[in-house]
Amino acid sequence: MSILKATLTPGNNVLNSYFPARTGNNEGDFDWDIAKAIVVRNLYRKQLSTKFTKGLPKDPENKESSAINAFRTICKADFKERLDEAGLWEYLEEMYFSGEALYSVTPEALLFKLAPLTGNSPQHRLADMFSSLMQGLYIESPIQQETNFLEQQVVESLRSEEVLSLFERGKKTLSKGINEKSFLPFLTKHFRSDLKFLASHPKYLIDQLQNLLKLYGYLYTAQLALNIKGLDCEPTAKPLYFIMENETASRERTDLVRNGHQTVARLLVNIFPYLSMSEGLQDVSKEDNEHRLPLWQLAQKLTDDDSNKLREYAEAFALNRNESLTFLFPYDKNNTDPRYWLNVLLELAVQQFDKGMKRSAAQIKFIKATEDELCSTFVKARGQVGKVLVMNQDYIALITNIAIGIKDKLRFHELLTEFNSRGIYFDKQSQQALIRFYERVGNVERMSDSGDAVYVRKIL
């Protein structure tokens, strides 16, 4: 059966999959707290129970705080049963319920952030990117945290059925996009194992989840840009050179420019046209999207029978998007290769956003949102060299820990290979700086003077 939608007619460019940015973005669409909360929801398979949310006021503005207030009442009752002097509650209330305190108790507390969220909330889009990268990952039983008995009681109250319930797949509250097949399987693999590693250290997860998401947010964006035109095979990790914050970039360090954000930035223009074209060609049920394929897989599944349909669609599409007085269609109509016509369509999809076309403003908005929300953490301007990718010490510590993962230590060489498999590269000079950083921290062991015999330990 053909992979294509039954009838292909040119319409608006629609994007609901594989990427969070859109041609129109509002402030607050990229909410990292919501993204974190949804990752935790998927990971623990827990959500605020309907019994719990039913009692909350409808007003979305204060929904989060009223959810926490409702939980506070439950928690208070639980403590009252155990305390011989009720007066301690006043202390506990200050300790765990003032300000953002609750969120540092356990990752599950983030679920309160989801109280105001509805199925249509635009905040889902950022979270969907990570849900998609998780591909259904969850932990069987939550790790017991090393914590004191007071905090333990708060966690237990939270985990009670009164507050949290099992979260099942395929529910209405789910966003539409998350069942798509992975676009970047190599990154999915790493994200799953890195997140799983973090989840086994709950306190570290609370600390670093946002950093992990920002890191993968960038890696996903950059690797998507670098891989999206490759239709012949599964995407692979392309080199992206980073430097440490305290290093200076210079023109001699060509990799920083050649294989850095400047290349990514040039390719960002393809993301929206390619993804929306790919989406428009596919027919997926709205409920769970389980059959949505990444473009490279779609290309592989095309058969000769699809050629005609694609050619007709290409012609219709070109005519539909034609803005000049004369209509040109400079393609070989006798070509029977479906891949040829797919490429034509993709080319047309990109052309509709060219400078001077009426849609170009939309593309600019899309790219600006991508740069601002997903790239700016790592992209820094460094003098004459221009924009380069920079990691601060917190991120260096994070990638070191996730690269070493469940092992105790790795040889420096192996560590770099682990980085590379995530698309993170360091040139020779940065490697020296890394070694110096580890030496300063004190987590290296040398077995000889050879650079190949340096071991790096985790820094949790």
Partner 1 sequence: MDLRKALAVLSKSSPNAVTTAGEIIDPELRAIKNYLYVETEIEVVFKQELNDIQENDVIFLCGSSGDGKSEILTRYSEKHEKLVDFHLDATHSFDPSHTAIDTLNDRFTKQKTSRRPLVIGINIGMLANFEREGADEHCTVKAAIKQFLNTQESSDRFTFLDFEAFPKFKIEGTEVSSAFFNALLDRVVRDDQGNKFRDCFNQALALNQDKKLIANVLLLRDRSVQKVVVELLLNARIRQDQFVTARMLLDFIYCILTGSGYLFDNLFKGGDNELLKAMVAFDPSVIRNRDIDRFILNRTLDIEDTEYQLFIDEIEAKYSVIGTLQASSAIRLFYLLKQTGIEHNYHKKFKSSFHEKGELLYREIWALHRNYAGDKEDKIKLRRFYDDVVFAAIELYANRNAPYLSKDEFYLSSHGSCDLASEIELSVNHEAIEGAACKDIHAFYLHFSVNDKKLEPLPVNVNLLTLMLDVVEGYRPNKHDKNSVVLLDELVSHITSLVSNTEVLYLYRDGQRVKVKAHTDGDIRVSGL
Rounded Cα distance, 301 and 282, in Å: 12
Task: Establish if 436 lies at the interface with partner 1 (CB under 8 A).
Answer: no
Closest CA to 122 of 35, 58, 209: 35
Q: Which is nearer to partner 1, 97 or 340 (CB)?
A: 97
Tell the smallest beta-carbon distance from residue 110 to partner 1 (Å): 18
| Contact with partner 1 (CB under 8 A) among 59, 61, 84, 140 | 84
Could you tell me the two tokens for 258?
Answer: 């050649």
Q: Is 114 helix (H, G, I), strand (E, B) or coil?
A: helix
| Contact with partner 1 (CB under 8 A) among 91, 156, 312, 329 | 91
Rounded Cα distance, 401 and 415, in Å: 10
**Site map 372..411 versus partner 1, x via CB under 8 A:** ---------------------x-----------------x
| Contact with partner 1 (CB under 8 A) among 27, 61, 85, 232 | 85
Angle of helix 185-199 relative to helix 124-134, nearest 10 degrees?
90
Q: Which is nearer to partner 1, 61 or 452 (CB)?
A: 452
Could you tell me the two tokens for 88?
Answer: 């301690």
Rounded Cα distance, 330 and 196, in Å: 51
Task: Establish if 77 lies at the interface with partner 1 (CB under 8 A).
Answer: no
DSSP 34: H
Q: Which is nearer to partner 1, 65 or 393 (CB)?
A: 393
Strands 386-391 and 240-244: parallel
Give the helix ranges, DSSP H, for 282-306: 295-301
The site that binds partner 1 (CB under 8 A) totals a number of residues, namely: 39
Token look-up 């600019």 returns 364
**Contact (Cβ atoms closer than 8 angstroms) between residue 460 and residue 201:** yes
Which range in 38-46, 272-280, 339-347, 449-457 contacts partner 1 by CB under 8 A? 449-457
**Contact (Cβ atoms closer than 8 angstroms) between residue 405 and residue 189:** no
Q: Which is nearer to partner 1, 245 or 283 (CB)?
A: 245
| Contact with partner 1 (CB under 8 A) among 99, 170, 330, 356 | 99
Q: Which is nearer to partner 1, 50 or 148 (CB)?
A: 148
Task: Establish if 440 lies at the interface with partner 1 (CB under 8 A).
Answer: yes
Task: Establish if 435 lies at the interface with partner 1 (CB under 8 A).
Answer: no
Tell the smallest beta-carbon distance from residue 151 to partner 1 (Å): 8
Task: Establish if 441 lies at the interface with partner 1 (CB under 8 A).
Answer: yes
Rounded Cα distance, 345 and 336, in Å: 14
Residues found near partner 1 in the complex (CB under 8 A): 79, 82-85, 87-88, 91, 94-96, 98-99, 101, 146-150, 393, 411, 413-414, 439-444, 446-453, 459-460
